[in-house]
């Protein structure tokens, strides 16, 4: 199955659209932002619901504390800032006030990974998935495109408990239909195959689909799984696929330590050991450059996924 490009839109705009939608349907939804309203595409929500929008300024730790407090009154707070400031800068507040306390806060993080681009290593957090999936009770979601980011925003609003929603800055191919079903914790098999399982999240789902097309031209059938939920992980989907293919490639815009690849490896080690190749940033910080330049330099392009698939197959 091929997935045509329906549009080119940034995933952060999908979040903005979803936030406005849940704001209209649920009066308990409130939004907080740390001086990045336009960057997080929260301006439409602010304009329509000014009494439910809180601009806290460049005070991210305070924002997390305020969000936790708002849940006590039954509100559903959505916090918005860059991924680096949503996790690394405020990890103590997220751990203590939100995760440990079990508060129903939705931590929404834009400008994640290398595709943040020219802002460079200080802002390109590549450790956030690992940080957040280690917190007990934290749901972690990394949607694939604009449409799925909107769907995920709707889903976390209905979910009880703390959530981390990770999305990005650049315009990216839109290929998931707007009405495609989305369920937290349930992976999507986008392409069926029998030679290798390829599991991806976020922007790299599109690159993985492109890699699968190239492999098909070579006579290799790859199964492509969109693992939009990193926690809770769909272990059943992983094991079902790998039991047929015998090998796996994981693809993520994140450090290879602590992210999707590690989560999949835990499942395989416990239940069905199989050769695994990692397409991820290899224990490195990023640097300044365009998204495409950085994805190429750090080995996250379709050609890199094709090469990883051949390595995995050779080991099976």
- Beta-carbon count within 10 A of 86 CB: 30
Interatomic CA distance for residues 247 and 2, integer angstroms: 22
- Beta-carbon count within 10 A of 69 CB: 14
Tokens of 56: 């806290």
Interatomic CA distance for residues 165 and 201, integer angstroms: 12
The residues annotated with a catalytic role in the active site are 60
Crossing angle of the two packed helices 260-271 and 235-245, in degrees rounded to 10:
70
Interatomic CA distance for residues 150 and 142, integer angstroms: 12
% of the chain at pLDDT higher than 90 = 99
Average pLDDT over residues 59-70: 98
Place of tokens 């939608």: 21
> What is the maximal distance between C-alpha atoms in the chain?
59
Nearest C-alpha neighbor of 12 from the set 34, 31, 37: 37
- Condensed to tens digits (0 to 9), the pLDDT of residues 257-310 reads 999 999 999 999 999 999 999 999 999 999 999 999 999 999 999 999 999 999
The reported pLDDT for the residue numbered 1 is 67
The reported pLDDT for the residue numbered 2 is 78
- Can you tell me whether residue 200 is helix, strand or coil? strand
The radius of gyration computed from the CA coordinates of the chain, to the nearest angstrom, equals 19
Nearest C-alpha neighbor of 192 from the set 179, 214, 175, 209: 209
- Beta-carbon count within 10 A of 218 CB: 10
Interatomic CA distance for residues 19 and 108, integer angstroms: 10
What domains appear along the chain, each with residue ranges and CATH number? 7-174 (3.40.50.970), 188-315 (3.40.50.920)
Q: CB of 296 within 8 A of CB of 304?
A: no
- Condensed to tens digits (0 to 9), the pLDDT of residues 5-48 reads 999 999 999 999 999 999 999 999 999 999 999 999 999 999 99
- Condensed to tens digits (0 to 9), the pLDDT of residues 119-154 reads 999 999 999 999 999 999 999 999 999 999 999 999
Taking CA 157 as the corner, what is the angle to CA 152 and CA 160, rounded to the nearest 5 degrees? 115
The reported pLDDT for the residue numbered 82 is 98
Taking CA 242 as the corner, what is the angle to CA 251 and CA 135, rounded to the nearest 5 degrees? 55
């Amino acid at each position: 199955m091929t997935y045509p490009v329906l549009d080119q839109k940034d995933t952060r705009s999908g979040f903005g659209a979803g936030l406005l939608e849940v704001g209209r349907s649920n009066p308990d939804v409130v939004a907080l932002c740390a001086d990045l309203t336009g960057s997080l595409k929260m301006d439409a929500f602010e304009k329509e619901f000014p009494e439910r929008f809180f601009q806290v300024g460049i005070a991210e730790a305070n924002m997390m504390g305020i969000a936790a407090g708002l849940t006590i009154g039954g509100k559903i707070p959505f916090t918005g800032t860059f991924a680096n400031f949503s996790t690394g800068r405020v990890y103590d507040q997220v751990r203590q006030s939100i995760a440990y306390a079990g508060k129903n806060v939705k931590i929404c993080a834009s400008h994640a990974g290398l595709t943040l681009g020219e802002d460079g290593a200080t802002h390109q957090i590549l450790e956030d998935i690992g940080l957040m999936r280690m917190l007990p009770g934290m749901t972690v979601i990394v949607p694939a495109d604009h449409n799925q980011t909107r769907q995920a925003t709707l889903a976390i609003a209905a979910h009880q408990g703390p959530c981390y929603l990770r999305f990005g800055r650049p315009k990216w191919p839109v290929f998931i239909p707007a009405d495609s079903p989305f369920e937290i914790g349930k992976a999507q098999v986008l392409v069926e195959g029998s030679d290798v399982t390829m599991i991806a999240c976020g922007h790299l789902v599109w690159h993985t689909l492109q890699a699968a097309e190239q492999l098909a031209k070579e006579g290799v059938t790859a199964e492509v799984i969109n693992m939009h939920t990193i926690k809770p992980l769909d272990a059943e989907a992983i094991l079902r696929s790998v039991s047929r293919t015998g090998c796996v490639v994981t693809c993520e815009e994140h450090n290879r330590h602590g992210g999707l690849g590690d989560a999949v490896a835990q499942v395989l080690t416990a239940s069905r050991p199989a050769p695994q190749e990692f397409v991820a940033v290899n224990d490195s910080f990023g640097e300044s450059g365009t998204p495409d330049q950085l994805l190429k330099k750090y080995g996250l392009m379709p050609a890199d996924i094709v090469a990883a698939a051949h390595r995995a197959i050779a080991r099976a």
